Each structure stands twice: as structure tokens, then as C-alpha cells.
Amino acid sequence: MGKIKAWAKKLKQQIFVLYFAYKDERVPWYAKIFSICVVAYAFSPIDLIPDFIPILGYLDDVLIVPLGILFALKMIPTEVRSECEEKAKEMMKNGKPKNWVVGSLIILFWCIILLWVILKVYQIFN
């Protein structure tokens, strides 16, 4: 169980590395877009595959998020990644900040998607 906790803590730290890298000007635009998508998905309460679906529900938590983190980290220049890792370690040690603006944007994003899906389903049945 200790290995799983250490793995989860490392993933969390890497998500913060991506967050800090997103803010750095030296990171290419495509890496920023991919990184912020991974961060938003990781922190989003809504999953691509709902957790109540047996086995498949946790597939995104075990595979999709770590693979997204891996690919995003490879897109970030080594020097920037090292600096961001230090910032993430420091932040994890001091406790993570609460960013209500980003949280609100993520919720708004998912509400817009949900509204769009509802409208499409309504159009199909009418």
C-alpha cells in the first residue's frame, strides 16, 4: 500500500510540474495546450469513463492520466522541467494553494459540455 501512496503522490507532484510549466514562456505553445488539458482533466471531478462502471471506470485514473502526464513532460524542455519540479516539490511541502478561478473555469467548461450534449440529445429526439 505504501508504493501506491508514493506513486499517487508522485503523480500529483507531476501535475503541479505541468501547471508551472504551462506558465513558463520557454515552453512551446503545443506543450502548454496539452499540459493544461492534462491538468484540467486530472483535477476535474468528471471522468471520461465514469467510476461506477466496473474496472473500466478506473482505467482513466490508472492509464489515461499517467500517460497524459508522461507525454506532456516529454514535450517540456529539460531545464524548464527541472525548475518546475523544484517549484512543485516546494509547493507540495508547504501545501497546495486553492485557486478558485481555475476551479470555476473547469466547472464552467464541463457545464458547457453537458449543456451541449443535452441539446444534441434533445434535437435527436425531437
pLDDT digits (tens, 9 = 90+) for 12-27: 889 999 999 999 999 9
Q: How many domains does the chain have?
A: 2
- Same domain flag for 68 and 80: yes
Instruction: Write out the H or E segment, with its range, that includes residue 15.
Output: helix 2-23
Can you tell me the distance from the alpha carbon of 24 to that of 33, in angstroms, rounded to the nearest whole number?
A: 12
Q: Are residues 48 and 74 in the same domain?
A: yes
Regarding whether 110 and 88 lie in a shared domain, the answer is no
Same domain for 71 and 36? yes
Domain enclosing residue 115, as ranges? 98-126
Q: Are 37 and 109 in contact (CB under 8 A)?
A: no
Is the same domain home to 85 and 121? no
Residues 51-82 pLDDT 10s: 677 777 777 778 888 899 999 999 999 999 99
Q: Are residues 83 and 116 in the same domain?
A: no
If asked whether residues 28 and 70 sit together in one domain, one would say yes
